Amino acid sequence: MRIDVIGRHFEVTDAIRTYAENKTAKLTKYYSGVQLITINITKVNPNHVSEYDAELVIDIQKGNDFVSHAKAADAYAAIDLVVEKGERQLRDFKEKLQG
């Protein structure tokens, strides 16, 4: 499984990249068919008060991609929120397959 962390309008530090990779690596416990995870983190207005928009794209085998979005005042909080949404999507998908 590959995990890509992409920053727009700001530089993704090693700490943010490691944090995002650790959080998203846990998504495979909800569905083992995950092939690629991409997190796009955008600093909404780089000149004023910082707000971050995170987008999570989960590419799975034999299915459509799951996409979730979240906004927060800090990049770490945005990652947390978007990963929670991705977890919920994967759990619902797995339950649908089993039931």
The CATH number of residue 82's host domain is 3.30.160.100
φ/ψ of 5, rounded to 5, equals -120, 120
Please give the residue range of the domain that contains residue 48. 2-98
Quick: pLDDT tens for 24-81: 999 988 888 899 999 999 998 867 778 999 999 999 988 889 999 999 999 999 999 9
> Could you tell me the strand order of the sheet in which 34-43 lies?
2-8, 34-43, 52-60, 66-72
Q: Considering the chain, what percentage of its residues have pLDDT values greater than 90?
A: 68
Q: What is the pTM of this model?
A: 0.91
**pLDDT at res. 45:** 80
Mean pLDDT of 3-9: 93
The total domain count for the chain is: 1
Rounded CA Rg of the chain = 14
